Structure 1
Amino acid sequence: MPVQVSVIMPVYNMVEFVGQAIDSILQQSFSDFELIVIDDASEDETDMVVQSYKDQLIIFERNNCNIGNYASRNRGMQLAQGKYIAVMDADDIAMPDRLEKQVSYLEKHSDVLAVGSGCISLPGGILREGLSSYRKIQLALLSNNCFVHSSLMIRKDILLKLNGYNERYYYSADYDLVCRLVAAGKVENLIEPLVGYRYHPFQISVLHKEKQQFFADEIRLKYQMNFINRYKKEDQSLVGRAEVSVSSIGQAIAYYTYALYSGDVRYKQEADELLDQVFSVLSAAIPARLDCGLLGITCGMIYMLRNNFIKGDEDEIFDEIDSLLFGELGVLVDREDFDWYGWLYYFRLRISRRCLFGKGAQKGIFSKNLEFLFDCLIGKIEKDWLPDNEVLFEIEQFHILNISKEKTAYILGVNGKE
């Protein structure tokens, strides 16, 4: 029978906390709900605790094998009968009026796709208010997830339209989901704390911190690109992965873009401050690659220069950086982790400036190092190394530009691109 709210709670080895989580839902002031508990093949007595409840509001399902937190949430979503999906974690608690207040808010604000809230930390009782403004939320997501995920209530129709959680982001799918929700429409927070968020050594953010960060970095990059391209002026260039491969640079570009879009100079000031922080730690110790590296910083800076976010002569600004990069190229190119795409992209960016061709010495330096890079790439390919599609795309661009035509033709021919 349809209900207004489906509370979805995956659980894995939470025998210590799951009872408190269930009690907090069953004691809600709002009564038109179902509680879907998905046991992700727990190895302790979690299932016994859940099944000890005989309340007809509880729907209990157990996975045959451990499929993961977000895959379990997707399974619960497919079972849900409610108009709204309330996210719940088995180690958190919901305040007694959580469902009532969130349903009331969504009923009154038909343009809001989802609503979260503030939280109280457990243990400790420290209050964390939720960002209420949609504008602030969009900007906060440029750096990290700003939602307490177990506080969210989402319209089921939009969740289905977005195909739920992307299970590829195994430990960060919540961040990805809110980024996609925010891109689809208005998402807000109630400032008041409607959940108690528990900190303990067995939560995902502790057990899988490195993997969670890896996925979060990819999600952040994708969100920054989408944000910039959504709010950019008509004459502003589209931004690509290379320009936002250093998070703080991508954030600065987003702030400059939003400053122009909104007319609010505060965001330009924040972008300036971010760049000052980047420049203060700039050194030869920064690796020569796109991701969190010198190539990423320079590609982002070139984008900002060419879109008039910052001022200066490009060749003068990058003269020292070019010398540093080319001095390292001969040493780095033989390393297994050499960033072929990043280097080729940077060369193409720099050579694409017409002013560069007017400077014979500088053009000669670029040409010499680019020829060296092509020779090294050919050597690797002849040893059965396969370049990825990004690398081949860059080679195609050089070929179209008639730069080192014979070598690019050879590389493309060997890889079936000609």
Structure 2
Amino acid sequence: MASTPSVSVIIPALNCAPFISAAIESVLKQGGDQLEVLVIDDGSTDETANIVRSYPSPVHLLRTQTPRSGAAAARNVGLRHAHGRLIAFLDGDDVWLPGKLALQTSTLENHPDVALVCTRGGRWEPDNESYEQAHQRFITADATSEPTDFYPAGWIYHMLLLRPAWVWTSTVVMRRELVEKVGEFDESLRLGQDYEYWLRCSRETQILRVAKVLALYRQHANNSTNKPRNRNFELEVVQRALDRWGRHGPDGQAADKKQIKKRFARMHFRMGYQHFWAGDPRIAAKEFYHSIRTNPRAWRAWAYASASAVRGLFVPTPRNQKPPSGGERRHGE
């Protein structure tokens, strides 16, 4: 490599052929001549790899050692090959909006005590709205926001415990030094591995979230967080954080106990809701029961628990169905 890049952008991809060009182009259009774009193919069976190969430097194709190792493994491959002093992330089906990278790099330059800057993200349904229309929509919506408006800001561990969407992976830019402190993503988590990573980061640094939408979360049928799972990754991550660090952040601020209980109830409800509509009423009923047990005033859980019990009398349990343990994280602005 001719010169050390200032920013390495890590893009995990699995069967992203319809989307990967838009993701790469949204990075390249950020400008600057010191970019490194690392696309890590996790065993795609479509044209993803060939599309990535068609791009000249600074776009580079890497592969996970084992196909379908998961997003955590793919991002870790990127981290091991990244040369930039700053590390940014983008999923292969998402896109950045113009000016994102310049604003975040200047923010880090102006705040030497901060090692991670993220932004708001916006939901985008390409079937109903073009990229340009979505961009204009958020320009209009954010007209009163200044580039120096941050929320949340500071030591936000206690806030992340209650709301993972405060830090969305496709918006993150962080210093290499922070990566060296917190290490790699946890590959044992098929979902929620990024949330677990940002919780670890929030123990090591203050975080700034730019109050502007500067990335788009593409809505499509194959979004991984739309699929019901038999393991509640999000709940595991929160419980692990509480067991390790408790409710208090490094600055002493604490997540409210009642709000934590409500969060656990919501996580159980969310998994139950997904399984209910996926045709697994018995699994759904167990999750709704846990939701009610955690928060007896969860009226929707009561309603769905009753509906699940009735449906469970008539719908056979799917074959090879493993016992459930929870729900999964959703993206939010």
The alignment's TM-score, normalised by the length of structure 2, stands at 0.67
Cα distance, 1:170 vs structure 2: 1.8
Runs of 5+ unmatched residues, structure 1? 234-252, 257-269, 279-285, 298-336, 338-418
User: 157, 173, 184: which is aligned to 1:138?
Assistant: 157
Map of 1:69 onto structure 2: 71
User: 38, 41, 46: which is aligned to 2:40?
Assistant: 38
Secondary structure, aligned partner of 1:24: helix
Higher strand share: 2
Letter in 2 for 1:222: R
Compared CA separation, residues 144 and 210, structure 1 to 2 (3 A): farther
Alpha-carbon distance in 2 for matches of 1:30, 1:82 = 13
Cα distance, 1:222 vs structure 2: 2.6
Alpha-carbon distance in 2 for matches of 1:78, 1:4 = 16
Letter in 2 for 1:84: L
Alpha-carbon distance in 2 for matches of 1:117, 1:70 = 21
Map of 2:305 onto structure 1: none
Alpha-carbon distance in 1 for matches of 2:249, 2:97 = 37
Q: How does 1:255-334 map onto structure 2 within 5 Å?
A: 255=256
Map of 2:233 onto structure 1: 215
Map of 1:187 onto structure 2: 207
Map of 1:58 onto structure 2: 59
Compared CA separation, residues 193 and 230, structure 1 to 2 (3 A): closer
Cα distance, 1:273 vs structure 2: 11
C-alpha contact 1:18 1:91 (8 A) present in aligned 2: yes
Q: Which has the higher contact order (CA 8 A, sep 6+)?
A: 2
Cα distance, 1:186 vs structure 2: 0.4
Letter in 2 for 1:138: Y
Cα distance, 1:274 vs structure 2: 6.1
Secondary structure, aligned partner of 2:217: strand
Letter in 1 for 2:57: Q
Alpha-carbon distance in 2 for matches of 1:153, 1:97 = 13
Alpha-carbon distance in 2 for matches of 1:164, 1:59 = 20
Q: How does 1:1-400 map onto structure 2 within 5 Å?
A: 1-53=3-55, 55-64=56-65, 65-123=67-125, 125=134, 132-134=151-153, 137-146=156-165, 147-207=167-227, 209-211=229-231, 214-225=232-243, 226-228=245-247, 230=249, 254-255=255-256
Cα distance, 1:223 vs structure 2: 2.6
Compared CA separation, residues 98 and 30, structure 1 to 2 (3 A): farther
CA deviations on 1:231-268 (whole Å, 9 max, x unpaired) are 798xxxxxxxxxxxxxxxxxxx8326xxxxxxxxxxxx
Secondary structure, aligned partner of 2:33: coil
Map of 2:272 onto structure 1: none
Cα distance, 1:183 vs structure 2: 1.3
C-alpha contact 2:155 2:249 (8 A) present in aligned 1: no
Alpha-carbon distance in 2 for matches of 1:38, 1:273 = 38
Compared CA separation, residues 48 and 139, structure 1 to 2 (3 A): same
C-alpha contact 1:8 1:77 (8 A) present in aligned 2: yes
C-alpha contact 2:154 2:207 (8 A) present in aligned 1: no
Letter in 1 for 2:62: E
Give the root-mean-square deviation of aligned CA atoms. 3.4
Secondary structure, aligned partner of 2:31: coil
Letter in 2 for 1:165: F
Cα distance, 1:197 vs structure 2: 1.2
Alpha-carbon distance in 1 for matches of 2:171, 2:225 = 17
Alpha-carbon distance in 2 for matches of 1:110, 1:117 = 18
Alpha-carbon distance in 2 for matches of 1:152, 1:232 = 22
Alpha-carbon distance in 2 for matches of 1:232, 1:255 = 15
C-alpha contact 1:141 1:220 (8 A) present in aligned 2: no
Compared CA separation, residues 232 and 50, structure 1 to 2 (3 A): closer
Compared CA separation, residues 136 and 23, structure 1 to 2 (3 A): same
C-alpha contact 1:13 1:43 (8 A) present in aligned 2: yes
Cα distance, 1:230 vs structure 2: 5.0
CA deviations on 1:197-223 (whole Å, 9 max, x unpaired) are 111111221135554xx1110111233
Letter in 2 for 1:47: A
Secondary structure, aligned partner of 1:254: coil
**After alignment, is 57-66 or 168-177 more displaced?**
57-66
Identity %, equivalent residues: 25
Alpha-carbon distance in 2 for matches of 1:44, 1:69 = 17
Letter in 2 for 1:73: R
Alpha-carbon distance in 2 for matches of 1:19, 1:273 = 42
Map of 1:319 onto structure 2: none
Compared CA separation, residues 221 and 159, structure 1 to 2 (3 A): same
Alpha-carbon distance in 2 for matches of 1:207, 1:162 = 29
Secondary structure, aligned partner of 2:162: coil
Compared CA separation, residues 105 and 229, structure 1 to 2 (3 A): closer
Alpha-carbon distance in 2 for matches of 1:39, 1:254 = 38
C-alpha contact 2:203 2:250 (8 A) present in aligned 1: no
Q: Which has the larger radius of gyration?
A: 1
Letter in 2 for 1:74: N
C-alpha contact 1:29 1:96 (8 A) present in aligned 2: no
Higher helix share: 1
